[in-house]
Chain A
Amino acid sequence: MANKKSSTPILKIKNVDIVFGRGRKEFKAVSDASFDIYKGETVSLVGESGSGKTTIGRAVVRINPVRKGYITFDNRLINGKIPEEEKGQFIKALEEELEIASSMPDGGAKVAEIKAAINTVKTGKITFKQSRDIVRKIQMIFQDPAASLNERATIEYIISEGLNNFHLYKDEKDRIAKIEKIITDVGLLPEHLTRYPHEFSGGQRQRVGLARSIVMEPEFIVADEPISALDVSIRAQVLNLLKKFQSERGLTYLFIAHDLSIVRFISDRIVVIHHGKIVEIAETEELFEHPLHPYTKSLMSAIPIPDPILEKNKELFVYEPDKCHDYSVHKPSLVDIGNGHFVYGNEEEIANYKKIRG
């Protein structure tokens, strides 16, 4: 796990609203979401179906534009607009980088890149070059392995699509070597390269999806429920591959899941989202030991216990927002209650949570 206190986050999501449609048909899928992800860690985004997890994941890869707030990657704005009052601080950080880069003998390209980044902070406009750079660094693994592969393309084409777009190889021989290496790395065979996706099992397809992302040598991967569509027997295989690539390449993951059970074993921190609002953020063990928000508790109670008697007598906790909270007087917000533990609530609730925790 990365040392969070000292490093700056690699991905920063701040006060993000994501809205579909315009005017009367407007639908706010995510409201005021904020969380940070540090280099090398796995952050899981957990919530029920329709809570806006995919929507956030897609905002990170810039498929969904954010209506309010912003997302930065490596201190560069990648989605949304930075509000006036925060611009100064971003520009200052970038200018420090600029100073270091310009003192380097061959920092020319870097200098130009940082200057462009400063400009982006000011204008909120992302250039074509920046956009390509983000694409290469942030990759996504999709929820449905069947729908996310082009059925009319060979596995070779699918895996090398990103390589072709960015010419990430010296020559044809190097390209073949790269895709053959990655396909064996995910446990498939080079002879599969001439095949079509429909000839593969779900687990194999998901590994093809993994291969095409990893071959781009990204720094960050959004994994949108990569194992939900898979048979239980092959889930571990895909999870282990994700872990392997993370330790080999120092990858950072935003892992999306709809139940807490699998998340415990792979994540460093967990973000719980309910109806487009983030209700709790904490380190994995902290969250499992001290779940505070009633929605998190209800998710916990939904985890199956591998004991028939206990499971049968288990009391299911149902979360009903209207009964749990009274937000008519004091408005709620996401508050840090210590130990890097954030909970969504109003003053009274927060005081209560602090008491339970402290």
Chain B
Amino acid sequence: MAEAIVKQAFDLEKVSSQSENDLFYFVESDSVSSEKITALRYSYWKSVFRIFFKKKINWFLLGLFAFILLMSIFFPLIFPYDEMENVINTDSYFLSPAVAMSKYGVSLKWLLGTGPVGNSIFYGVWASAATSIALSFVCATINMALGIVIGAVWGYNKTLDSILNVVYNIIADVPYILIVSVMVYIIGSGFFPFVIALTITGWLGIAYFFRTQVLIIRDREYNLASRCLGTPILTVVKHNILPFLTSVIMTILATELPGYISYEVFLSYIGIGLSAETPSLGQMIERAQTGFISYPWAFWAPVTVASAITVILYVLGQNLADASDPRTHM
């Protein structure tokens, strides 16, 4: 301790022997360097994906979804599914995997036994998953696109606002399922009629939601600033409003995509689903429900795939929504 003080005093003495000019010099004030930003360059989408892929569960779910998607696209191409191939052999109906294999030989085809008309459940599940996934993506794309575009204009245009509010109030009071059912009765039940039935009013709720969002953001000061710079409304929507809604859009997508799969299953279940020649998960479930206790494989296989797709899409969508919220980027 004492030694240190002595040493310090010695140093001071040495220092004081030097002139002031040697010890201090003026630092030029550098206005350029004071403006410099040293933080790393920020990129919105890079940050979104960085956050998204930091979660291991997302890799896993994405892998699982890719597997289901690839299987549902390519499996039916390699092993075509023919529901009616055994329909004349009534003794092929509802066979358990073991019985089916002993009867027709060991093969992938009979991995999950047979269904109500002797059809291969394993083949059927993939062919049906393709329909369900396609249906949900087509419907979600149409409804989201219409919803966002119309919702944005709706939020900006006063005349359109009063018209669409009336339309919305009327249609929102009629149950969606009722509208879809009536539409299916009117225009038939193929894949595309079904898409039309699900989208003819499906965009309205989404558009209404976006209208409200636009109303909230529209009068923020930076949008007034854009107005003062003469920016056209569509450019304002594209650059000032939509970028703030990416996370909200993801959240809606996360409920919309699985939603259409559930609708298809539900509508088929109550008997107004897709037509018989389009294989679908809903139909498989509906037809197997009679054998729910005695032939569980025929029921649980499509239920499992439908639930898996629904849950995966929902969780992935929610996680993407979280990642696209810039507050998580710090």
Contacts and interface: CB of A to CB of B under 8 A. Distances in A.
A214 B231 CA distance: 16
B35 A216 contact: no
B234 to A, nearest CB: 12
A248 B171 CA distance: 60
Interface residues of B, number: 27
Nearest to A200: B37
Contacts of A196: 42
A142 B240 contact: no
Contact of A61 (B228, B240, B243, B244): B228
Interface in B212-255: 220-222, 224-232, 235, 239-240, 243-244
A92 interface: no
A106 B235 CA distance: 35
Nearest to A148: B221
Interface stretch (A159-167, A306-314, A329-337): A159-167
Given A63-B227, A153-B239, A195 B42 contact: yes
B67 interface: no
Given A135-B229, A162-B230, A192-B37, A63 B224 contact: yes
Contact of B244 (A63, A152, A187, A189): A152
Contacts of B226: 150, 161
A165 B231 contact: yes
Interface string A120-142: 00000000000010011001101
Contacts of B35: 187-189, 192, 204
Most buried by A among B44, B226, B240, B243: B226
A63 B228 contact: yes
Contacts of B240: 150, 152-153
Contact of B42 (A135, A192, A199, A209): A199
Contacts of A61: 228
B41 interface: yes
B221 to A, nearest CB: 4
What secondary structure prevails in chain B residues at the interface with A?
Answer: helix
A49 interface: no
Nearest to A194: B41
A50 B290 CA distance: 71
Contacts of A356: none
Nearest to B225: A148
B230 A147 contact: no
B31 interface: yes
B222 A150 contact: yes
Given A135-B230, A162-B230, A142 B39 contact: no
B36 interface: yes
Interface in A140-175: 140, 142-144, 147-153, 157, 161-162, 165-166
Nearest to B242: A152
Contact of B229 (A143, A161, A199, A204): A161
Interface of A: 58, 61, 63, 132, 135-136, 139-140, 142-144, 147-153, 157, 161-162, 165-166, 187-189, 192, 194-196, 199-200, 204, 209, 212, 216
23 contacts: A58-B224, A63-B224, A132-B230, A136-B230, A144-B221, A149-B222, A149-B225, A150-B226, A152-B239, A152-B240, A152-B243, A153-B240, A153-B243, A162-B229, A165-B229, A165-B232, A166-B230, A188-B35, A189-B35, A189-B36, A196-B42, A199-B37, A204-B35
